[in-house]
Structure 1
Amino acid sequence: MAEKVVLTYFNGRGKMESIRWLLTVAEVNFDEVYLTKREQYLQLLSDNALMFQQVPLVEIDGMKLVQTKAILNYIAEKYNLHGKDMKDRVKINMYSEGVIDLMEMIMMLPFTQDTKPKLDNIEKKAKERYLPVFEKALTETVFLVGGKLSMADVLLTECTLMLEEKFTGILKDFPSVKSFQGRMIRIPAIDRFLKPGSKRRPQPDEHYVKTVMEVFDIKELRL
């Protein structure tokens, strides 16, 4: 029996959430170790488990992987979610990194004191820079690249749901993206992931922020 995948991160979304999504769609079981105390993080450093002193950490195939994009690419390649050839892969990576750029702006909101200008900026960029790209692509095809499900589709689905949590109705001017989202959430693995009791994490709250700051010894929120 294959060794189970183990994720080490906080009990919240952050950069690990996309990894949870991708493993779920690949139908890979995984366990999680939640960081709750600074001592756990210091022990990981002492064990040389974190190449750049950062999490997420994913233990898979006898390796300890760090750096979110590298982890996502490995999972996508291993589970046939990375296209059929190099040209597919580079398109998938471009779409995926664009989505990640947008999601990372949302991830930083809980650590920001004055969120209004940040929210306005995210909404503007989503509508003017990111969503038009995906609307154009999905007007012509069911999936973003190569006519089959890929990492880019999974991450875009995650992102659209994150956007709708912050901006109700943001997809109304992007019907192809909204239709795509509707198709994706009917995939059985995703449907289960979106139900209560799954390994999907809720939106970050004050407890999540406090834990992250304590583990990393951060003294105050960003402006």
Structure 2
Amino acid sequence: MAEKPKLYYFNGRGRMESIRWLLAVAGVEFEEVILETREQYLKLLEDGFLLFQQVPLVEIDGMKLTQTQAILSYLAAKYNLYGKDLKETALINMYTGGISDLMFLIMVHYFKPAEEKEKEIEFILEKAKSRYFPAFEKAFKTRISNIPTIKKFLQPGSQRKPPPDDHYVATVKKVLQI
């Protein structure tokens, strides 16, 4: 039996969450190494595992993969989730690009100074409601939520992470020294 993929990231959603979702869709169990200390991060750097000195990192099939989009592409191809033809693959890439854009808006928000957060939340909500949510709701909200492996992933006790909180932000800042 093949080893479970091993995911290296912080104890939160961030850039790893879409990877967790894709593994959940594929019904693939995975292990996680939660980064909590600067030393853990430096060890990954020293071992040469972080190509661009950043996480997420996924260890799978004897490889150490970085860069979220590259990881997602690999997993989608490996588990036959990349569309039945080139047109479907292009649609998948469009949606994953949109998800990536929206996630970046949200992730960066948590790391901004408090005085900027209040103003920016309005901007993020407006953009999410007018630009991103309509595209996702038209296409697959109901279909996706009815996939048995996604239902399982959304249940309490799964490996899904909660939204970022102050502890998560402090840990990321400490580990990455930002």
Aligned to 2:121: 119
Aligned to 2:9: 9
Paired with 1:23 and 1:102, the residues of 2 have a C-alpha distance of: 20
2:172 to 212, 217, 220: 212
| Equivalent residues in 2 for 1:127-146, closer than 5 Å | 127-135=129-137, 138=138, 144=139
Q: Describe the shift of the 1:132–1:196 C-alpha distance in structure 2 as closer, same or farther (beyond 3 A).
A: closer
Paired with 1:184 and 1:90, the residues of 2 have a C-alpha distance of: 18
Aligned to 2:46: 46
- 2:149 is the alignment partner of 1:198: no
Paired with 2:136 and 2:19, the residues of 1 have a C-alpha distance of: 21
Aligned to 1:72: 72
Q: CA deviation at 1:132?
A: 3.6
**Quick one: which amino acid aligns to residue 4 of structure 1?**
K
Q: CA deviation at 1:183?
A: 3.8
SS at 1:111's partner residue?
Answer: coil
| Equivalent residues in 2 for 1:31-42, closer than 5 Å | 31-42=31-42
Aligned to 1:141: none
Q: CA deviation at 1:80?
A: 1.4
SS at 2:59's partner residue?
Answer: strand
Query: Per-residue displacement from partner, 1:75-134 (whole Å, max 9, x unpaired)?
Result: 111111111122221221012101210121112222122312211111221233223434
**Quick one: which amino acid aligns to residue 120 of structure 2?**
K
Give yes or no for contact 2:14–2:103 (8 Å, CA) kept in 1: no
Paired with 2:162 and 2:95, the residues of 1 have a C-alpha distance of: 25
SS at 1:95's partner residue?
Answer: helix
In the alignment, structure 1 segments of 5+ residues that lack a partner are: 139-143, 145-179, 219-223
Aligned to 1:106: 106
Q: Describe the shift of the 1:186–1:52 C-alpha distance in structure 2 as closer, same or farther (beyond 3 A).
A: same
- 2:33 is the alignment partner of 1:29: no
Query: Per-residue displacement from partner, 1:32-78 (whole Å, max 9, x unpaired)?
Result: 00111001111111100000000000011111000001101111111
SS at 2:55's partner residue?
Answer: coil
Aligned to 1:92: 92
Q: CA deviation at 1:181?
A: 2.7
| Equivalent residues in 2 for 1:47-62, closer than 5 Å | 47-62=47-62
Paired with 1:130 and 1:204, the residues of 2 have a C-alpha distance of: 20
In the alignment, structure 2 segments of 5+ residues that lack a partner are: none
**Identical aligned residues as a percent:** 60
Q: Larger RCO: Structure 1 or Structure 2 (Cα < 8 Å, ≥ 6 residues apart)? A: 2
Paired with 1:36 and 1:133, the residues of 2 have a C-alpha distance of: 36
Paired with 1:108 and 1:210, the residues of 2 have a C-alpha distance of: 14
